[in-house]
Chain A
Amino acid sequence: MIDPVTLSLHQLHQTYPNGRKAINDVFLEVEPGSIFGLIGPNGAGKTTLLFLASGLLAPDSGKVLCNGNEVTGHSKKAARYIGLMPDPLGVYTDLSALEYLDFFTRVLEIPKKTARDRIDEVVDLLELEPWLDAEVETLSAGWQRRLALGRVLLSQAPVLLLDEPAAGLDISARHELLAIIRKLAQRNHTIIISSHILPELEELADRFGVLKKGSWVEIRPNKLFFSRNEFNVGAENEQWRLECSKPEEARLTIEKLEAEVIEILPNGVIFSAQNEHVAATVLKQIVQTDMDVYEFSKQNLELNTVVRKILEEAS
């Protein structure tokens, strides 16, 4: 298990050399063992935020704290707590995978006695064994990503900042990588993942933050993220899914009540209702007719939709 470290970003501000605000008053606290999903359109400031958190960039103002110790703008100090996997990865293609890991044990100043054990541990976790003698250049994108993650894990940094860790990977490689990340969270790592591949992030993250033009537009735990009423179609409505034997008849019934049909499916309808009471009334009316009801459930929106709506609202 890793020593627990809480990462706190306090009121970070950062301006690009051209004067544009890169990060504006960002506050964030991520607890040990949790995964924070960092979402936002291109140019939102996600990478800048990760670079600020890892001390590679110094903010104009604000603080970065690891368990209360300030590491703001000090990459050497921050490296004790934080491991950054940037995007693009930046791997030395002329080295073999083993040489790459060996090189970083030297960079990370791991004593020679423990370096080999540390490499073995990482190789076991990431299942890199078959590829150790292969040149990095010849590895597939998925294995290169694992290797880069291996480099981060060598340091045993309790906080992991992963910028687009699953970019360019096929579905199976993505799932394998995400399983590894889940394992790391179980080992008490504090993890921030910036990603555009939202369905995977949805499975993984405990909390999400949506960044736009350097500011938070939304930051919530996973469950609350998807149950927010205001993201459903129609003002403050919730979406419901009704699967039944006569969708057309169901539509007519729903439209007579204070509800709105959004989509007619081959075996049912999706409708929006102002609240649960209205939805229950719809169900009662449907049950009283002669049609069969197979399923009735509240619709959870996909992360993609939620994020799109959040960003639309913010603009």
Chain B
Amino acid sequence: MMNPLYWLELRIRSREKRLWLVVVFFILTLLVVSGLVFSTSQMASRYYTMPNEVGTGLIWSTLYIQAGLIIILYPLSAAGRISQEREQRTIAALLNSPLSRSKIVLGKLLGAWTLILWLGMIPIPFLFLGTLWGGPEPAVIAICTGSNLLAGLTISSIAIGLSGFFDRSMTAYLVTGVVLFGWCIVIPIFGGLTLSLIPGNSSFIESMVQYFAFYHHPLYPLIAFIEGYTPVLNIYLFYKLGFCYAVWLIIALCGFAVSVAGLKREVY
């Protein structure tokens, strides 16, 4: 039987006007950026436009917009999912049932993930258009999209975790924002500063700092592929991506555990 909280999430979220506003905003942004990519490519070359430049520009910009939406914007909106149950006092009714706490969290998580996957599908026509213009190979695009989706799922897990832990949605939103800010911005800045202070011959320390500060960043896989335009089967990238996805998995599991633990607290 379908998880009832998942059923509820799908039903309630699909009726939320703001979700549709996000979708419209997303599509409009993609249209505007596609137009900009096309026009700047034309302006850059006086005589003719290289089709693959347009395709590459279109695909990378689409992937970054996708990342921005499903990594940052949407997970933030998931941050109130369980605390809302506390605020509207429905949590006691849910717990007075055969449902386990982990099932409740799982239902919420699956609801958030489904919407992320759904939002992740919206740019596909734009990406397809990019490949028609001769952009990067489809495997790279698929891996980048997949990485964006995985990052979105991981951050949603953090958001749901914090949501289960705090009684008030506003607190959960704020703390999720702070955690994301720390992870995406503060840690890389510290990493960059530390790297600038390390002497040139300490490659081991340098590598450690990079693992600590950069290689788990939600945008790391995307940046790695776009910057290097790397072939997919690159052994060094494989290690770094492996590390990145392992860290994300641990973070997602921690988010889940924090949320379940949060539900074990008092239910007043």
* A213 CB → nearest B CB, Å: 17
Q: Is the CB of A92 within 8 A of B98?
A: no
Contact A86 B92 (CB under 8 A): yes
Of the listed residues B1, B93, B266, the one surrounded by the most CB atoms of chain A closer than 10 A to its CB is B93
- On whether the beta carbons of A56 and B12 are closer than 8 Å, the reply is no
Asked if A225 is at the interface of the complex by the 8 Å CB criterion, the answer is no
A107-B267 in contact (CB<8A) = no
Interface residues on A, range: 35 or more
The answer on a CB contact under 8 Å between B7 and A151 is no
Q: Is the CB of B96 within 8 A of A103?
A: no
B21 at the A interface (CB under 8 A): no
Interface residue ranges of B5-42 to A (CB < 8 Å): 5, 7-8, 11-12, 15
Known contacts A56-B267, A90-B91, A91-B90: A79-B4 contact under CB 8 Å: no
Query: Could you say which of B8, B99, B100 contacts A92, with CB atoms under 8 Å apart?
Result: B8
A76 at the interface (CB under 8 A from B): yes
Q: A56-B267, A76-B98, A84-B96 are in contact. Are A106 and B2 (CB under 8 A)?
A: yes
Chain B contact residue count (CB 8 A cutoff): 25
- Chain B neighbourhood of A239, CB < 8 A: none
B95 within 8 A of A: yes
CB distance from A266 to the nearest CB of B (A): 49
Whether B92 and A107, one on each chain, are in contact in the complex, defined by CB atoms closer than 8 angstroms, is no
Question: For the complex, what is the distance from the CA of A108 to the CA of B5, rounded to whole Å?
Answer: 12
- A interface, by DSSP: helix, strand, loop or mixed? loop
Interchain pairs with CB closer than 8 A, number: 81
Shortest C-beta distance, A235 to chain B (Å), equals: 41
Residues of A within 8 A of B95 (CB): 56, 75
Q: When the two chains form their complex, are residues A57 and B98 in contact, meaning their CB atoms are under 8 A apart? A: no
Interface string of A74-118 (1 = CB under 8 A from B): 011011101110101111111100010001101111001000000
Q: Are B96 and A95 in contact (CB under 8 A)?
A: no
- CB of B1 within 8 A of CB of A95, answer no
Using Cβ atoms and an 8 Å threshold, which residues of chain A touch B1? 106, 109, 112
Q: How many angstroms from the CA of A51 to the CA of B90 in the assembled complex?
A: 14
Contacting B92 at CB < 8 Å: which of A90, A95, A106? A90
Are B8 and A75 interface neighbours, CB within 8 A?
no
Q: Cβ of A79: which chain B residues have Cβ within 8 Å of it? A: 96-98
B11 to chain A: which residues have CB within 8 Å? 94-95, 99
- The one of A78, A90, A99 that contacts B88, using a Cβ cutoff of 8 Å: A90
Interface majority SS (helix, strand, loop, mixed), chain B: loop
Contact A103/B93 with A76-B99, A79-B98, A92-B12 known, Cβ cut-off 8 Å: no
Any chain B CB within 8 A of the CB of A155? yes
Residues of chain B in range 164-218 having any CB-CB distance to chain A below 8 Å: none
Chain A residue at smallest Cβ distance from B7: A106
A57 touches B89 (CB 8 A): no
Check if B92 sits within 8 Å of A56, measured CB to CB.
yes
Is B94 located at the chain interface by the 8 A CB criterion?
Answer: yes
CB pair B8–A80 under 8 Å, yes or no, is no
Interface presence of A54 (CB below 8 A): yes
In the assembled complex, the Cα of A151 lies from the Cα of B88 at a distance in Å of 16
A57 to B89, CA, bound (A): 15
Q: What are the interface flags for B72-113 relative to A under an 8 Å C-beta threshold, 1 for contact and 0 otherwise?
A: 000000000000000011111111111110000000000000
Q: Which residues in A have their C-beta under 8 angstroms from that of B97?
A: 75-76, 79, 104, 107-109, 155
Q: Is the CB of A109 within 8 A of B96?
A: no
Residues of A within 8 A of B93 (CB): 84, 86, 90, 104, 107, 148, 151
- List chain B residues, Cβ under 8 A from A106: 1-2, 4, 7
B89 to chain A, nearest CB (A): 3
In the bound complex, residues from chain A placing their C-beta under 8 Å from that of B267 are 51, 56-57
CA distance A121 to B268 in the complex (A): 31
Residue contact B96 to A54, C-beta cutoff 8 Å? yes
Decide: B90 and A92 in contact? CB cutoff 8 A: yes
Q: Chain A's nearest CB lies how many Å from the CB of B19?
A: 13
User: A227-248: contact bitstring with B at CB < 8 Å (1 yes, 0 no)?
Assistant: 0000000000000000000000
- List 12 extra interface pairs beyond A92-B88, A106-B1, A109-B98, CB under 8 A: A51-B92, A51-B268, A56-B92, A75-B95, A84-B93, A86-B89, A90-B88, A90-B92, A95-B12, A106-B4, A109-B97, A112-B1
CB<8 Å pairs between A and B, sample of 30: A17-B266, A51-B92, A51-B268, A55-B96, A56-B96, A56-B267, A57-B266, A75-B96, A76-B99, A80-B98, A82-B96, A83-B96, A84-B96, A86-B92, A90-B88, A90-B92, A92-B8, A93-B88, A94-B11, A94-B12, A94-B15, A95-B8, A104-B97, A106-B4, A107-B4, A107-B5, A108-B98, A109-B1, A109-B97, A109-B98
Which A-B residue pairs are the 3 nearest by beta carbons? A90-B89, A106-B4, A90-B90
